[in-house]
Amino acid sequence: MTKQEKNEVIEVLKEKFSQYSNFYVTDTEALTVAQVGQLRRTCFNKQVEMKVAKNTLIKKALEGLDAEKYAGVYDSLHKVTALMFSENPKEPALIISSFRKDTKGEKPVLKAAYINGDVFVGDNQLTALTSIKTKNELIGEVIGLLQSPAKRVLAALLHHHEGKAEATTEVAAAE
């Protein structure tokens, strides 16, 4: 790989790191070509971009953007590295989990994840990452919580109003 080609790869990676606020660093070393192809297809279908690059180029791209911001990711850059970029912070975690179930294997291994400024290091974080809520899910929950008391008040008022109407009807019937 020439110096020019390396610089082009670094620039492409910088664009991806700038474009997405969520990315996963995974180890795909023991996967066969067919399995990597299957993983790429799954990522493509779920709107997750998967890129494979040399660790030194990944590190240079991250350092070129903000060395301190991505410092927690550097220790994960060893062996074969595949990057997964996504708008949805938990989609890559779901892809990795389901891929492992389908292949009955332990690969790909999660080395690190960068989610909205937070770094999650280690494969043991995968379960937690599959259960995090997206921005839209959190907004939906907040709206639901805000609507709940209003619905209760309206139901109580309607019930109270219906109760008065029934009492008036009973009194009129008794007379």
Say what the pLDDT of residue 55 is. 92
| Residue 93 neighbours by CB under 8 Å, 6+ apart | 24, 110, 113, 126, 129, 130, 132
pTM: 0.74
Angle at the Cα of 107 from the Cα atoms of 99 and 37, rounded to 5 degrees: 60
**What pLDDT, on a 0 to 100 scale, did the predictor assign at position 125?**
83
pLDDT of residue 165: 53
Report the pLDDT value the prediction gives residue 47, as an integer from 0 to 100.
Answer: 93
Phi-psi region of 107 (alpha: psi -120 to 50; beta: other; left: phi over 0): beta
- What is the pLDDT, as a whole number, of residue 169? 53
- Which one, of 56, 62, 70, 63, lies nearest residue 113 by Cα? 70
**What's the pLDDT score for residue 27?**
92
Say how far apart CA 107 and CA 99 lie, in whole Å.
8
Overall size of the chain counted in residues: 175
Per-residue model confidence (pLDDT) at position 58: 92
User: Do 90 and 134 meet the contact criterion of CB atoms below 8 Å apart?
Assistant: yes
What pLDDT is attached to residue 112?
Answer: 92
Which tokens is 7 given?
């610089």
* Geometric angle at alpha carbon 127, from 124 and 131, rounded to 5°: 145
Closest of 25, 35, 169 to residue 104, by C-alpha: 35
Q: In tens digits, what is the pLDDT along the chain, a chain of 175 residues?
A: 888 998 999 999 999 999 998 999 999 888 889 999 999 999 999 999 999 999 999 999 999 888 888 888 898 998 889 999 999 888 999 999 999 998 888 889 999 999 888 889 988 888 888 877 777 777 887 887 777 777 777 777 777 766 555 555 554 555 5
d(CA 30, CA 39) in angstroms, rounded, equals 13
Burial environment of residue 33 by CB neighbours within 10 A (0 to 12, 13 to 18, 19 or more): exposed
